[in-house]
C-alpha cells in the first residue's frame, strides 16, 4: 500500500476481462473501486467475485453503469464516485473495443470506425478529463491515470485500422496528460498489453491472422499478471511514475519475426 490516506479508484470496462481482473486485484489490496461499464449485470458479477476474496479492511465497491462515449454518463460516474468515497486517486482508463475483426480497410463501415473511435479514444479522453478535474481540485491534490494501450500502439495487426489508430492516439493522449498534469501532482502512464487471456482474446489461441496471411494460434498469458502490473503502477508514490509499460505473452509474435 502507499502512504497516502486514501486509495480510491475508478476502473472503466470493469465488467469483464482486464478491467474485472484489475478491479478485483485493487479491491483485494484494500482499494475502494468505482466499477464502470455499460451493463449493470457484469458489474455486479465483478463486485460479487471480489467479495468472495479476502478483502483488506476498508475496501468497498460501487457499480455505476456507464457508456464512456457519453459525456453525461462520464460526469455522472465521477460525481457518484466522489459522493461515495470523497475523492479520486486513480483512474484505470480501460474501456475499449476491437471493433469488427478482419475487415479490410476499404470495406470498413464508417459507423464501425466511429464506434471504435468513440469508445477507445473519445471515451478515454472524457474519463481522463473528468478525473483530471477532480484530482486538480481535491485536497490533497493529485492522483494517477493509467491508460490501457496495447501492443497495437506500437505494431499493428493486419486489418485492424480502427483499433490500431485509436491505440496510437492513446499514446499521444498519455504523453500530453502526463505533461499537463505535472503542476498538479497528476501522474499519467500507459500499460500496453499483448495477448492477455480474456474473452476478447479467445480467438488468439485458436488462430490469429498474421502479416504473411497465415492464421496461426498464439500464446496467451494470465490476465492476473496484467492486474498485478497495474497495481504496481497504481501504488507508486506520486513522485514516481511508470510512463510506459509493456506486458505480453513471452512468445507471442511481436518482437522481430515472432
Catalytic positions are 163
The DSSP annotation for 159-214 comes to T-HHHHHHHHHHHHHHHHHHHHHGGGTEEEEEEEEE-B-SGGGHHHHH-EE-TTS-
Distance CA(207)–CA(157), nearest Å, equals 13
The three cell numbers of residue 58 are 476498508
User: Distance (Å, rounded) from C-alpha 93 to C-alpha 12?
Assistant: 6
Amino acid at each position: 500500500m502507499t502512504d497516502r490516506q486514501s486509495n480510491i479508484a475508478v476502473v472503466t470496462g470493469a465488467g469483464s476481462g482486464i478491467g474485472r481482473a484489475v478491479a478485483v486485484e485493487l479491491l483485494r489490496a484494500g482499494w475502494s473501486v468505482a466499477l464502470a461499464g455499460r451493463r449493470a449485470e457484469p458489474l455486479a458479477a465483478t463486485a460479487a467475485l471480489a467479495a468472495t476474496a479476502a478483502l483488506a479492511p476498508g475496501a468497498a465497491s460501487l457499480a455505476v453503469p456507464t457508456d464512456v462515449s457519453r459525456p453525461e454518463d462520464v460526469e455522472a460516474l465521477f460525481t457518484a464516485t466522489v459522493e461515495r468515497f470523497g475523492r479520486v486517486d486513480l483512474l484505470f482508463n480501460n474501456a475499449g473495443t476491437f471493433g469488427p475483426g478482419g475487415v479490410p480497410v476499404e470495406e470498413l463501415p464508417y459507423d464501425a470506425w466511429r464506434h471504435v473511435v468513440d469508445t477507445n479514444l473519445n471515451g478515454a479522453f472524457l474519463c481522463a478529463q473528468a478525473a483530471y478535474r477532480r484530482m486538480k481540485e481535491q485536497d490533497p491534490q493529485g492522483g494517477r491515470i493509467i491508460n490501457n494501450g496495447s501492443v497495437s500502439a506500437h505494431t499493428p495487426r493486419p486489418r485492424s485500422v480502427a483499433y490500431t489508430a485509436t491505440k496510437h492516439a492513446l499514446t499521444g493522449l498519455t504523453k500530453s496528460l502526463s505533461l499537463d498534469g505535472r503542476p498538479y501532482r497528476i501522474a499519467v502512464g500507459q500499460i500496453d498489453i499483448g495477448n492477455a487471456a480474456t474473452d476478447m482474446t479467445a480467438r488468439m489461441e485458436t488462430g490469429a491472422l498474421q502479416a504473411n496471411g497465415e492464421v496461426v494460434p498464439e500464446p496467451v498469458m494470465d490476465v492476473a499478471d496484467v492486474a498485478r502490473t497495474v497495481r504496481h503502477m497504481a501504488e507508486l508514490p506520486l513522485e514516481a511514475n511508470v510512463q510506459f509499460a509493456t506486458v505480453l505473452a513471452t512468445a507471442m509474435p511481436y518482437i522481430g519475426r515472432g
